[in-house]
Amino acid sequence: MNSMEERGEIVIIGAGLIGLSLAFELRRRGARVAVFDRFEPAKAASWAAAGMLAARTEEIADEPMHALCNEALEGFPAFVERVREASAIDPQLRLDGIVQAAFDEASLARLQERARSLAAAGIAHTLLDARGALALEPALASNVLGALLTHDEGSVDNRLLGRALLAALARMHVQVATSEEIELEFDARRVCGVRTRWGFRPAEIVVNAAGAWAPHVAGVPEVCRPPVEPVKGEMLALAMPHDFIRHTMWLGGCYVVPRTDGRLLVGATGERVGFDHRVTAGGQRQLLDRVLQGAPSLAGFALVEQWSGLRPGTPDERPILGPTPREGYLLATGHYRNGVLLCAQTASLLADEIEGGTPIDPAFALARFAENGAAVGA
């Protein structure tokens, strides 16, 4: 028996990519784990996302977040391979690079500057003139002035990844259950367990991975509530011929992500409108206007899907990872725009903390909000 097998059960609240990846990692290390969700597993932000793995193209200025995203990107292929082996489902990882296209002089100058900083950091990339950009992606508008291809990043099919994790967890005998009633129980010092429709279940550790809903999990003391707020994103999908667009591309104001099933995802809007997740005429018009400006030949393709999701946003756009003022109660939430990219890295950091007490970088701790004098609460 290893040390994880000897310990009490670990309960994870929320079955998005963050909760499921953590359950997968903990179970691999021998822990007893159960996951509870109030709704259908793997159907919230983790289903709605575009699945881009854009650690470099995102140009994250915040140093701890930059480092976290780059480590996440490096570890992603091995994680996908483990999930694929454990589930027999291929989440379609593509790391053939992300293209950023420029349609005006100012954007072109920014791409040139960006290419210089990538070169200085030793990150593989190709700066293309207009002709090179059109040769790489002929669907780009003819007024394109140039493009930057950042190698070794790309996308994963996040819906397939969710399904693969669920299949892997089923094979590993990890319970992933839906219960309308989920309430945590605490004593003055620590978390005691969770009450669901099946009754009380004691737990040594409870991890809140409830995404945009993390501050609203019932029964949690005020001092442990993370300042997470939903940020709505709308998306749409077009049906396109095979390889009509080959790379994930940023077109200035929107992005496109090709899927192997023939869909081209177009995203995304960003709005702070609470838990309103309606797909709106205005949001869809914004996406269509922008994508057809960057790639007008898409106009004739069928619009096959429209949806939205709620990103878990935080005041400083960093996730909130690790301990809270109540012993045994941990957070893994607030992944905002990068939760797909960060799911495996989050799982590994939380599992290290739980298994061996290896502390997570305090830059991601809940305590950073209290120290800054900001309110910790919903």
Q: Which residues contact 14 (CB under 8 A, 6 or more apart)?
A: 35, 37, 208, 209, 210, 211, 213, 214, 333
Could you tell me if 45 and 16 are in contact, meaning their C-beta atoms sit under 8 angstroms apart?
A: yes
- Could you tell me which of 184, 223, 215, 224 has the C-alpha nearest to residue 314? 215
The reply to whether 159 sits near ligand FAD by the rule CB under 6 A is no
Could you tell me if 192 and 297 are in contact, meaning their C-beta atoms sit under 8 angstroms apart?
A: no
CB of 193 to ligand FAD, least distance (A): 14
Using CB under 6 A, pick the residue from 154, 227, 283, 309 that binds ligand FAD.
309
The reply to whether 333 sits near ligand FAD by the rule CB under 6 A is yes
The reply to whether 14 sits near ligand FAD by the rule CB under 6 A is yes
Cα(104)–Cα(34) distance, integer angstroms: 52
Using CB under 6 A, pick the residue from 34, 148, 169, 182 that binds ligand FAD.
182
The reply to whether 52 sits near ligand FAD by the rule CB under 6 A is yes
Residues 136-155 that bind ligand FAD (CB under 6 A): none
Residues 202-261 that bind ligand FAD (CB under 6 A): 209-213, 217, 233, 235
Could you tell me if 238 and 47 are in contact, meaning their C-beta atoms sit under 8 angstroms apart?
A: no
Cα(93)–Cα(76) distance, integer angstroms: 9
Could you tell me if 315 and 1 are in contact, meaning their C-beta atoms sit under 8 angstroms apart?
A: no
What amino acid is encoded at 32 in this protein?
R
The reply to whether 311 sits near ligand FAD by the rule CB under 6 A is yes
CB of 37 to ligand FAD, least distance (A): 4
CB of 85 to ligand FAD, least distance (A): 22
Using CB under 6 A, pick the residue from 2, 3, 39, 275 that binds ligand FAD.
39
The reply to whether 100 sits near ligand FAD by the rule CB under 6 A is no
The reply to whether 337 sits near ligand FAD by the rule CB under 6 A is yes
Q: Which residues contact 238 (CB under 8 A, 6 or more apart)?
A: 263, 264, 266, 298, 301, 302, 303, 304
Binding site for ligand FAD (CB under 6 A): 13-19, 36-39, 44-46, 48-52, 182, 209-213, 217, 233, 235, 267-268, 309, 311-312, 333, 335-341
